[in-house]
Structure 1
Amino acid sequence: MTKPVSYFPADDPNARHLEAQPEALLIRPQETALIVVDMQNAYASKGGYLDLAGFDVSGAAAAIEKTQQACAAARAAGVTVIYFQNGWDPDYVEAGGPGSPNFHKSNALKTMRAKPELQGKLLAKGGWDYELVQELQPQAGDIVVPKPRYSAFYNTNLDSILRSRGIRSLVFTGVATNVCVESTLRDGFFLEYFGVVLHDACHHAGPDFVQKASLYNIEKFFGWVSSVEAFQKALKDNTNPTLTTKGAE
Structure 2
Amino acid sequence: MQNDFGSKGGMFDRAGIDISGIQRAVGPTARVIAAARDLRMPVVYLKMGYSSDLSDLGTSDAPNRIRHLQIFRVGDSMTAPDGSECRILIRDTWGTDIVSDLKPEAEDVVLYKTRFSGFYDTELDTVLKNADIKYLVVTGCTTSVCVESTIRDAFFRDYHCILLTDCTSEPIASDASRSNHDASITLVQILFGWTSTADHFLKAIEERVHERVELAE
Relative to the length of structure 2, the TM-score reads 0.86
How far the C-alpha of 1:139 sits from its partner, in A, is 1.2
Tell me, yes or no, if the aligned pair for 2:76 and 2:87 is still in contact at 8 Å. Answer: no
Equivalences for 1:145-224 in 2 at 5 Å? 145-208=111-174, 209-224=179-194
Is residue 44 from structure 1 mapped to residue 6 from structure 2 by the alignment?
Answer: yes
Quick one: structure 1 residues 99 and 135, their matched pair in 2 at CA, closer, same or farther if it must change by over 3 Å? same
Deviations 1:81-140 (A, max 9, x none): 11111010112111123232211233x653328x9666x721011221111111111113
The higher relative CO (CA closer than 8 Å, separation ≥ 6) is in: 1
2:32 to 67, 70, 73: 70
Deviations 1:39-59 (A, max 9, x none): 100110111111122211011
Structure 1 gaps of 5+ residues are 1-38, 245-249
Query: What is the letter of the counterpart of residue 75 of structure 1?
Result: R
Tell me, yes or no, if the aligned pair for 2:162 and 2:196 is still in contact at 8 Å. Answer: yes
Quick one: structure 1 residues 105 and 112, their matched pair in 2 at CA, closer, same or farther if it must change by over 3 Å? closer
Q: Which residue matches 1:55?
A: 17
Tell me, in whole angstroms, the C-alpha distance in 2 between the residues paired with 1:171 and 1:116: 34
How far the C-alpha of 1:225 sits from its partner, in A, is 0.7
Q: Which residue matches 1:31?
A: none
How many corresponding residue pairs?
A: 201
Tell me, yes or no, if the aligned pair for 2:21 and 2:171 is still in contact at 8 Å. Answer: no
Query: What is the letter of the counterpart of residue 218 of structure 1?
Result: V
Tell me, yes or no, if the aligned pair for 2:140 and 2:168 is still in contact at 8 Å. Answer: yes
Tell me, in whole angstroms, the C-alpha distance in 1 between the residues paired with 2:18 and 2:104: 26
Quick one: structure 1 residues 207 and 239, their matched pair in 2 at CA, closer, same or farther if it must change by over 3 Å? same
Secondary structure of the residue that 2:189 maps to in structure 1? helix
Query: What is the letter of the counterpart of residue 217 of structure 1?
Result: L
Tell me the percent identity. 35
Quick one: structure 1 residues 117 and 160, their matched pair in 2 at CA, closer, same or farther if it must change by over 3 Å? closer
Query: What is the letter of the counterpart of residue 60 of structure 1?
Result: I
